[in-house]
Structure 1
Amino acid sequence: MAAIPLDLLDRIRNLERQVRELSGRAQTRPALNTINHGTVTIGEGGQLRVKAPSGHTTFGTGQGPRGDWYVLLAREDGTPAVQVGNNNFDGDDIRQMIRLWSRGGDVLVMDDYYADGYLGRPWVPIPMSPAALVTGSEWRTTHAGRFQAQHAVLTASWSVYAPSGTTAEARLMINHGGELSQLGEAITSSGKEVFTTQRFTPSDHRLKHTEAAGLVLQARRASGTGTGEAWCQGIWGVNTTTANEAN
């Protein structure tokens, strides 16, 4: 039998070792904790979730179980903090709303659910001047304020008082482009204070988002000789509650 050189045996043993190393590395799953110079793509219904030791999701993005694509930031206990889209919160169709929650679970900031382009929350008060006396038969401005529309809906509360034997009226007007027009219904008082709260949608006030206008509360004495009073209880920009209010 011919002699086999020792260096050839060494080479064979070295090749066997390298094959074993390569085979072992092929079965080892590499660490996936660093991505350099690349893009991670999640599609076709996939999601990315980051979970706290408690098991609650603190960050999530992708396609949620209702089919819309969402981004969620949550607190360690799983309560939502910031969200775009739905992913199991508040009904079946959130229309890709942007929402920010308080720690107590209340929505602090959101866009309007039905009225695209308008703010939903927070509600914004519209400042008006103090109450004024009503002594004349002609419509007189008792309160005035100017604002820029942030919300689709205005909710206005005002009242009018007239003593016994006297009748007084009060109405809310909007100054839009230099033209005054009445919002809602006028109220009438005789011998007591009468209150009203009325909601006005874009079809009433005709304002686009951030468009400026003036609000004017007017009052007059319709009959009698007593002195009436008109009061603005408060006016706010608020979110819609139905799809019809967005029109």
Structure 2
Amino acid sequence: MATIPQDINDRLRRLEAELRALTTAANRRPALNQIMHGDVQIGEGGGLSVRQPGGAETFRVGEAGPIAGEHALIVRRRDGSVALSVWNGTTADDQAQAVRIKDAQGHELLSEDVVAGGLARPHLPIPMGPAQATDWPSTSDTSWTDLQVAWPEIQHPRLEVFAQAVGNGNGGDIRITVDGQVVASGATGKPIQTTFKIPGYEFGAHPKITLQARAKASSTVWACVQRMYGVAS
């Protein structure tokens, strides 16, 4: 079939359409609220800030510390109070920045010791027990007898425990139970030193944990839990 010559007006209209398409493509920009690939870099003392509609800042990372030049991270509540921060108030390279979590009144709930390592807060209690074994709870019963009991609020799925027992005569046995289930066993001269899963673990529950002992015939058993705390899975 023979090619039909195009009128000059047809050719001009086609060129205009192609030019319009090129101009549209050149002016098209990607969405400004998405980053599909690559990293975002903020340097030269800059920072990233998230603000509420009223203008109050709720999140900042970058140059955010209380002094100029310190790069830090601060998360605030909508009332402006600090909820979480990573800063130390200095730009000295040899001083690590501390992680801090605060309550709504500004009290420090959790922070790290950046000098020696470990916790700065909370302050954890260290209970002490009788130094003399004969001052520990005791039993001469040959049946299992509760010597110590606790109803803690469980916040970890496992417990680590250390318990000792001494006895006279033939001694006896000890064990740890959780809601009646035996989770660890020992004997006089054989301490319980183990980590075990809490049966039927449920965060915030209050199971009954007991140290039980039973003596052999004509004997007495003294026993005491000397360390117990929750640990992760």
> Is TM more than 0.5 here?
no
TM, length-normalised to structure 2? 0.44
- Larger relative contact order (Cα-Cα within 8 Å, sequence gap ≥ 6): 1
